[in-house]
């Protein structure tokens, strides 16, 4: 998120306090404070960990209630559709999905400007997102991996289709031209995709002022825990389901699965209190960033829905292309056969491999991906230098030294490498393109590092088993 001016931010927090948003247990239903934060949380800037976020205003205990946002302060479809004109128009387009309606509602509310009740909140939303739907052809191809390219194409196509379907409604509402554009649609849908929180009465979710200032922390360890439960559930389906007890194996495992999922969130709507409640997911010292887990996401999913990725994501996975016969020779679903972020194959992938062998000549090679790790690391360093270029002369010098993929970037963005000519300054559009290019290279680099780790893991395992076998032979 973009850093706001202190005066503007203080005004927003004062507005939030008027709505009853509070990080103090004592102030929630009593006298409203001047601003909604300061007792448990404080807005801070974390340059290496998500930018603007929420820090601990004091030492916090794990599980402690740290923020409450009353239902009346949640921006939902219901609250926006209280506008008679908007509600009447939306009722004539029931073919649109709830998410499409919410997207139109958000754009309509943005069009009100300062006349909107939600203006203090809306003006603090990011002006842009680097989600996959915003990727250009060059940026899409920079991902290199077929699955990632396909996911990007699907995201772009979905955004364009939903925008076209909703255009008639937006025209009826007489939205301003800039709000009718595909770019505006992607911004609004990205806001909903990346910032809404789950509520039980609306599948779209809600936008939560102040509550969406938390930066993301990936749940640690849950990925393999849930995989173990899924493995048990899959295995149990192969067994006799007649049990002497009153509970089936599946129902018990589902309970365990649900228990795992309960640990993946750090907040929720409390109907008894009538507010969205947030809890500390860990013990925090004063000044430390307080993080929120949105759930388990791979880096590609984070890039698709949120526009960022994590250097160390315990929930990341790598799906490698397998021979069709491998899928047909076992009953494991495709999505369960992957490599963990630490390089270890999933249980399902190992099981499938045990049931399938193939001659060397028929194996599909993916080894070439691992060999380009060093090149991608150097490319990231170059991109950082371009982003940090202090003046036009330094920038021009860097661009003149670029080769291969970097040259393709220059061509895709109509940048010239010649040393003579006018002063070279990167436009805002080009800077955003560089940021998306960097995200693509970062994603594929992490993908390749997982492959390298997997190769190392398998090699070590093979060497260990070979040594054990050799020792056994010698003792005979």
Structure tokens given for 225: 């825990």
Give 134's DSSP letter.
Answer: G
- Count Cβ atoms below 10 Å from residue 346 Cβ, excluding itself: 22
Residue 346 phi, psi dihedral angles, 5° rounding = -70, 160
Mean pLDDT of 209-237: 60
Alpha-helical segments (H) within 337-427: 347-354, 367-370, 373-387, 392-400, 405-412
Structure tokens given for 394: 């330094």
Which pLDDT score is estimated for 16? 92
Alpha-helical segments (H) within 198-346: 222-236, 249-262, 299-305, 324-328
Res. 417: pLDDT tops 60: no
- Per-residue pLDDT band at 242 (split at 50, 70, 90): very low
Structure tokens given for 349: 């992938």
Angle of helix 392-400 versus helix 373-387 axis, rounded to 10: 160
Q: How far are the Cα atoms of 308, 403, 433 from residue 378, in angstroms, in the given order?
A: 21, 12, 19
Mean pLDDT of 34-42: 85
Which pLDDT score is estimated for 418? 47
Whether the CB-CB separation of 150 and 135 falls below 8 Å is answered with: no
Beta bridge partners of 215: 291
Q: How far are the Cα atoms of 30, 153, 368, 391, 430 from residue 338, in angstroms, in the given order?
A: 52, 22, 18, 45, 35
Which pLDDT score is estimated for 200? 92
Res. 32: pLDDT tops 70: no
Whether the CB-CB separation of 130 and 65 falls below 8 Å is answered with: no
- Per-residue pLDDT band at 35 (split at 50, 70, 90): confident
Which pLDDT score is estimated for 398? 74
Q: Record the pTM.
A: 0.74
- Per-residue pLDDT band at 4 (split at 50, 70, 90): very low
Mean pLDDT of 327-340: 70
Rounded to whole angstroms, the Cα distance separating 146 from 138 reads 14
Which pLDDT score is estimated for 370? 47
Which pLDDT score is estimated for 466? 67
Res. 261: pLDDT tops 60: no
Res. 77: pLDDT tops 90: yes
Which pLDDT score is estimated for 351? 65
Please report where in the chains the tokens 């969406």 appear, as a residue: 212
Rounded to whole angstroms, the Cα distance separating 55 from 5 reads 17
Whether the CB-CB separation of 339 and 349 falls below 8 Å is answered with: yes
- Per-residue pLDDT band at 125 (split at 50, 70, 90): very high
Q: Which residue has the higher pLDDT, 30 or 81?
A: 81
Rounded to whole angstroms, the Cα distance separating 380 from 318 reads 21
Indicate the SS3 state at residue 307.
coil
Rounded to whole angstroms, the Cα distance separating 354 from 359 reads 14
Roughly how many angstroms between the first and final C-alpha of the chain, as a whole number?
Answer: 66
Please enumerate in sequence order all residues whose Cβ is within 8 A of that of 277, keeping only pairs 6 or more positions apart, or say none: 65, 67, 68, 267, 268, 269, 270
Beta bridge partners of 291: 215
Closest CA to 307 of 181, 440, 136, 399: 440
Q: How many CA atoms lie within 13 A of 193 on its CB side?
A: 23
pLDDT tens per residue, range 439-460: 999 998 888 888 778 777 777 7
Indicate the SS3 state at residue 33.
coil
- Per-residue pLDDT band at 382 (split at 50, 70, 90): confident
Give 74's DSSP letter.
Answer: S
pLDDT, mean over the chain: 79
Going through 263-335 in order, the beta strands assigned E by DSSP cover 267-270, 275-279, 291-292, 317-318
Indicate the SS3 state at residue 275.
strand
Q: How far are the Cα atoms of 203, 206, 248, 310 from residue 198, in angstroms, in the given order?
A: 7, 7, 30, 23
pLDDT tens per residue, range 303-328: 999 998 888 888 888 887 776 766 66
Which pLDDT score is estimated for 243? 33
**pLDDT > 90 in the chain, percent:** 41
Res. 476: pLDDT tops 60: no
Whether the CB-CB separation of 88 and 212 falls below 8 Å is answered with: no
pLDDT tens per residue, range 126-150: 999 999 999 999 999 999 888 899 9
Rounded to whole angstroms, the Cα distance separating 107 from 116 reads 12
Closest CA to 371 of 445, 425, 318: 445
Rounded to whole angstroms, the Cα distance separating 467 from 249 reads 40
Angle at 52 between CA 49 and CA 55, to 5 degrees: 80
Which pLDDT score is estimated for 37? 85
Rounded to whole angstroms, the Cα distance separating 402 from 424 reads 15
- Per-residue pLDDT band at 36 (split at 50, 70, 90): confident
């Amino acid at each position: 998120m973009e850093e706001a001016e202190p005066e503007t931010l203080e005004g927003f927090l004062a507005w939030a306090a008027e709505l009853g948003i509070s990080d103090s247990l004592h102030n929630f239903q009593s006298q409203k404070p001047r601003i909604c934060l300061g007792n448990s949380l404080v807005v801070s800037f974390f340059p290496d960990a998500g930018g603007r976020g929420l820090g601990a205003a004091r030492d916090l205990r794990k599980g402690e209630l740290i923020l409450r946002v009353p239902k009346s302060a949640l921006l939902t479809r219901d609250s926006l559709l209280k506008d008679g004109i908007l509600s009447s128009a939306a009722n004539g387009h029931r073919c649109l999905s709830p998410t499409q309606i919410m997207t139109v509602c958000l754009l309509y509310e943005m069009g009100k400007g300062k006349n909107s009740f939600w203006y203090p909140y809306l003006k603090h939303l990011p002006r842009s997102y680097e989600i996959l739907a915003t990727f250009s052809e060059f940026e899409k191809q920079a991902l290199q991996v077929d699955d990632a390219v396909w996911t990007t194409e699907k995201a772009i196509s979905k955004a364009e289709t939903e925008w076209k379907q909703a255009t008639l409604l937006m025209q009826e509402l007489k939205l301003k031209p800039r709000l009718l554009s595909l770019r505006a649609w992607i911004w609004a849908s990205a806001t909903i995709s990346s910032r809404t929180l789950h509520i039980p009465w609306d599948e779209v979710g809600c936008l939560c002022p102040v509550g969406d200032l938390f930066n993301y922390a990936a749940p640690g360890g849950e990925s393999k825990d849930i995989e173990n439960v899924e493995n048990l559930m899959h295995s149990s389906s192969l067994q006799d389901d007649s049990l002497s007890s009153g509970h089936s194996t599946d129902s018990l495992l589902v309970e365990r699965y649900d228990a795992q999922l309960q640990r993946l969130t750090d907040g929720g709507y409390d109907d008894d209190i009538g507010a969205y409640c947030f809890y500390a997911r860990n013990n925090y010292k004063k000044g430390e960033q307080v993080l929120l887990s949105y759930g388990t996401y791979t880096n590609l999913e984070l890039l698709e829905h949120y526009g960022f990725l994590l250097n160390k994501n315990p929930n990341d996975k790598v799906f490698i292309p397998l021979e069709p016969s491998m899928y047909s020779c076992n009953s494991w679903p495709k999505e369960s056969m992957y490599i963990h972020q630490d390089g270890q194959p999933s249980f399902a992938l190992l099981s499938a491999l045990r049931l399938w062998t193939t001659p060397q000549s028929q194996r599909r090679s993916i080894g070439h991906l691992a060999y380009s790790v060093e090149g991608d690391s150097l490319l990231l360093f170059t991109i950082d230098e371009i982003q940090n270029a202090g003046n036009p002369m330094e920038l021009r010098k860097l661009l003149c030294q670029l080769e291969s993929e970097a040259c393709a970037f220059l061509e895709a963005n109509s940048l010239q490498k010649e040393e003579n000519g006018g002063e070279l300054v990167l436009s805002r559009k080009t800077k955003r393109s560089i940021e998306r290019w960097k995200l693509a290279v970062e994603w594929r680099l992490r993908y390749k590092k997982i492959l390298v780790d997997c190769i190392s893991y398998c090699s070590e395992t093979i060497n260990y088993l070979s040594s054990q076998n050799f020792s056994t032979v010698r003792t005979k």
